[in-house]
Structure 1
Amino acid sequence: MRVNPTLRAAAACMALLAAAACGSSDSTGSSGSPGAGGFHPPHLAARSTLGKPEGQVNLIAWAGYVEDGSDDPGADWVTDFEKRTGCDVHARTAATSDEMVSLMKTGDYDAVSASGDASLRLIASGDAAPVNTRLVPHYKDVFPGLKNRAWNSVEGVAYGIPHGRGANLLMYNTRKVRPAPDSWSAVFDDASRYKGRVTAYDSPIYIADAALYLSATEPGLHIKDPYALDQKQFDAAVGLLKKQNADIGEYWSDYLKEISAFKTGDSVVGTAWQVIANLAKSEGADVRAVLPKEGATGWSDTWMLSARAKHPTCAYKWFDWIISPKVNAEVAEYFGEAPSNARACDESADKNLCAVFHAADEPYWRKVHYWTTPIEQCLDGRTGVRCVPYAKWVQAWNEIKG
Structure 2
Amino acid sequence: MMSTSRGRRLAATAVAIGSIAILAGCGTSGGGSAAPSEQADELGELEGSVSILAWPGYVEDGSNDPAVDWVTGFEEETGCEVVSKTYGTSDEAVSLMKTGDYDVIAASGDATLRLIAAGDVAPVNTDLIPSYAGVYDFLKEKEWNSVDGQSYGVPHGYGANLLLYNTDVVTPAPTSWDVVFDGASDYSGSITAYDSPIYIADAAVYLMAHQPDLGIENPYALDEDQFAAAVDLLKAQRPHVGEYWSDYLKEIQAFETGDSVAGTTWQVIQNVLAGGGATTEVVLPEEGATGWSDTWMIASEAKSPNCAYAWLDWIASPEVNAQATAYFGEAPSSQAACDYRDDCEAYHAGDEEYASKIWYWTTPIADCVDGRTDVECVDYAAWTQAWAEIKG
TM-score by length of 2: 0.90
SS at structure 1 position matched to 2:62: coil
- Among 382, 385, 392, the alignment partner of 1:392 is 382
- Among 127, 130, 147, the alignment partner of 1:154 is 147
- Among 260, 263, 266, the alignment partner of 1:267 is 260
Correspondence for 1:37: none
* 1:180 maps to 2:170: no
Correspondence for 2:26: none
Instruction: State the identity as a percent.
Output: 62
Q: Distance in 1 between matches of 2:372 and 2:387?
A: 25
Q: How does 1:241-320 map to 2 (within 5 A)?
A: 241-320=234-313
Q: Distance in 2 between matches of 1:252 and 1:319?
A: 31
Aligned residues: 369
Q: Distance in 2 between matches of 1:252 and 1:127?
A: 29
Q: Distance in 2 between matches of 1:260 and 1:284?
A: 13
Shift, 1:10, TM fit: 5.6
Q: Distance in 2 between matches of 1:242 and 1:12?
A: 34
Correspondence for 1:381: 371
Q: Distance in 2 between matches of 1:183 and 1:241?
A: 16
Amino acid at match of 2:62: G
Correspondence for 1:239: 232
- Among 210, 221, 225, the alignment partner of 1:217 is 210
Amino acid at match of 1:361: D
Q: Residues 46 and 129 of structure 1 are in contact (CA less than 8 Å); yes or no, is this contact kept in structure 2? A: no
CA deviations over 1:157-208 (Å, ceiling 9, x no partner): 0000111111100000111111111110111111111122111112221111
Shift, 1:283, TM fit: 2.3
Amino acid at match of 1:316: Y
Correspondence for 1:53: 46
After superposition, the Cα gap between the structure-2 partners of 1:12 and 1:245, relative to the gap in structure 1 and judged at 3 Å, is farther
Shift, 1:105, TM fit: 2.0
- Among 103, 115, 119, the alignment partner of 2:108 is 115
Shift, 1:358, TM fit: 1.1
Q: Distance in 1 between matches of 2:54 and 2:244?
A: 26
Correspondence for 1:17: none
Instruction: Choose 291-300 or 381-390, whichever is displaced more.
Output: 381-390
Q: Residues 6 and 63 of structure 1 are in contact (CA less than 8 Å); yes or no, is this contact kept in structure 2? A: no
Shift, 1:11, TM fit: 8.0
| RMSD of aligned alpha carbons | 1.6
- Among 349, 360, 371, the alignment partner of 1:359 is 349
Unaligned runs of 5+ in 1: 14-43
TM-score by length of 1: 0.88
Unaligned runs of 5+ in 2: 17-36
Q: Distance in 2 between matches of 1:95 and 1:189?
A: 31
Shift, 1:68, TM fit: 1.1
CA deviations over 1:23-77 (Å, ceiling 9, x no partner): xxxxxxxxxxxxxxxxxxxxx7453310121111111111111111111110111
After superposition, the Cα gap between the structure-2 partners of 1:12 and 1:213, relative to the gap in structure 1 and judged at 3 Å, is farther
CA deviations over 1:201-225 (Å, ceiling 9, x no partner): 1222111111110001111000001
After superposition, the Cα gap between the structure-2 partners of 1:313 and 1:167, relative to the gap in structure 1 and judged at 3 Å, is same
After superposition, the Cα gap between the structure-2 partners of 1:100 and 1:253, relative to the gap in structure 1 and judged at 3 Å, is closer
Q: How does 1:17-28 map to 2 (within 5 A)?
A: none
Correspondence for 1:7: 10
Q: Distance in 2 between matches of 1:376 and 1:326?
A: 39
Correspondence for 1:369: 359
Amino acid at match of 1:256: L
CA deviations over 1:354-389 (Å, ceiling 9, x no partner): 111111111111111111111111111111211111
Q: Distance in 1 between matches of 2:261 and 2:288?
A: 20
Q: Residues 10 and 62 of structure 1 are in contact (CA less than 8 Å); yes or no, is this contact kept in structure 2? A: no
Q: Residues 61 and 70 of structure 2 are in contact (CA less than 8 Å); yes or no, is this contact kept in structure 1? A: yes
Q: Distance in 2 between matches of 1:151 and 1:338?
A: 18
After superposition, the Cα gap between the structure-2 partners of 1:367 and 1:11, relative to the gap in structure 1 and judged at 3 Å, is farther
* 1:134 maps to 2:137: no
SS at structure 2 position matched to 1:319: helix
* 1:70 maps to 2:63: yes
After superposition, the Cα gap between the structure-2 partners of 1:370 and 1:233, relative to the gap in structure 1 and judged at 3 Å, is same
CA deviations over 1:103-142 (Å, ceiling 9, x no partner): 3222222111111122111111111111111111111110
Shift, 1:282, TM fit: 1.8
* 1:98 maps to 2:91: yes
Q: Residues 11 and 335 of structure 1 are in contact (CA less than 8 Å); yes or no, is this contact kept in structure 2? A: no
Q: Residues 38 and 125 of structure 2 are in contact (CA less than 8 Å); yes or no, is this contact kept in structure 1? A: no
Q: Residues 204 and 230 of structure 2 are in contact (CA less than 8 Å); yes or no, is this contact kept in structure 1? A: yes
SS at structure 2 position matched to 1:276: helix
Amino acid at match of 1:307: S
Correspondence for 1:329: 322
